[in-house]
Structure 1
């Protein structure tokens, strides 16, 4: 984290941290009297935390520590927030689990920040580090046998299952599901067959749909199908992301990257393990977020440099 720091702020905010700014003006800014939005405020306060005047740096740090949740959230969800700002906010506000979780999910967050949050029990950081570790192992294994698999070779890893022939039985199960209470649905989701799982995974009650993911009979082919569903609720997608066995499967990682419901930190990490052909497709795709497409182009450029 020692590289020079350049922060984008509005001209009015930049004027508060210029070299010739009077001490009193700096102190006003350090107390939070900064024009502009939350991003400007956070950037100015971060800069002033490192001011040579002890009174200024101490005041700025106190103000950062006392920022309200609304302002904090505005900073930590902004895509352009610098990772150093995320880091200092993580260290000052790790006790606020919602804010800390948002920091952990930011695509630019430093590894050191994630490790700090994980040590302090922030589950989002723990999950991401677990997946990152698993992907590192996958990448190392791939290096031992050559390049990572591309789309064509990887699709063979998960065999598609045959369609159920008894559509009438499926319809009757669907009709029966409409008469069930939540407790009955949860039981069926946890123990039912493929047809029941395909019905319950789409249930509007998250307890029911989430129970499907705990069904010991669920297959990789089903997980792949679920990972491709853009209408699936966030908790289901996240459950796939943090399951080490499922994300070992290349097609599942690829599907998660392509699904806009996948939290960005996971999508970005999974994309780093994809083959060049799939990354190139993501770079051109209009169906993924701009962050994913931009990062895909960066990965391709870096490979060309190598």
Structure 2
């Protein structure tokens, strides 16, 4: 909570990383405190975070919107080496000269020259594969703070790489990423994740456990806490209960309870 309130002395880059991470915390009070600290950053402290080379693009995007009427802050954000094209576009619309110049150059690079054809689809697929390999290689050389930031804000490929990270803060950050999908959660719930906290986070998310396939995957995962597994078991269909009752890959307690539930359903 002290970290979320910005009361622990940290280097500018680390401060941004910590506040960004804690703003996604499952504890509502900690998340709200971190968000309040992000909103409250000002003066030299804010400038230090904006000028730190390791400040994440997502945090730059947040500050660009919080301070969209402050041209000086906008110029610093637009000059950051990690600023996203979308952030430059937003700043250019609010009259930040540097952003307008940078965005104009980047936009021109995206245009296909007249007379040239875009590359065929199979080349795009090869490019995606190469990009995934390069991301994996990049992850090997990244520090913990960088991995945490990427886990919280990265795309599907980054999430797939970092969910397997041995550091619990990194792998745990993946399930706090606001862009994560139900299909990814199903895959995680079915896997033998090293970080038990990830399963607990999934179990406590009311939206995710509305999904039948997620509940089923949690029941079948031996790392799911027994009370939650039993609660989700009671919501499964007779067909799945019958399968679980015969399964040797799950806890004997779950298999026994599945048989009991099945017998009760048959009696009714």
Match of 1:219 in 2: 181
Of residues 244, 256, 262, the one that matches 1:294 is 256
Q: Is 1:177 the equivalent of 2:143? A: no
The correspondence of residues 273-288 of structure 1 with structure 2, limited to 5 A, is: 273-288=235-250
Q: CA deviation at 1:304?
A: 1.7
Deviation by residue 1:215-240 (Cα, 9 ceiling, x = unmatched)? 11000110010000023421001110
Deviation by residue 1:26-55 (Cα, 9 ceiling, x = unmatched)? xxxxxxxxxxxxxxxxxxxxxxxxxxxxxx
**Cα separation, 2, equivalents of 1:296 and 1:233:** 27
TM-score (norm 1): 0.46
Report SS of the residue matched to 1:252: helix
Match of 2:210 in 1: 248
Of residues 235, 255, 259, the one that matches 2:197 is 235
Gaps of 5+ in 1: 1-122, 124-163
Task: Give the paired residue count.
Answer: 144
Structure with more relative contact order (C-alpha pairs < 8 Å, separation 6 or more) = 1
Q: Is 1:207 the equivalent of 2:151? A: no
Match of 2:160 in 1: 198
Q: Is 1:188 the equivalent of 2:150? A: yes
**Cα separation, 1, equivalents of 2:209 and 2:152:** 21
Deviation by residue 1:122-166 (Cα, 9 ceiling, x = unmatched)? x9xxxxxxxxxxxxxxxxxxxxxxxxxxxxxxxxxxxxxxxx942
Contact (CA 8 Å) 2:166, 2:194: kept in 1 or not?
no
Q: CA deviation at 1:207?
A: 0.4
Question: Which portions of structure 1, spanning 4 or more consecutive aligned residues, are displaced by more than 4 angstroms?
Answer: none
Match of 1:70 in 2: none
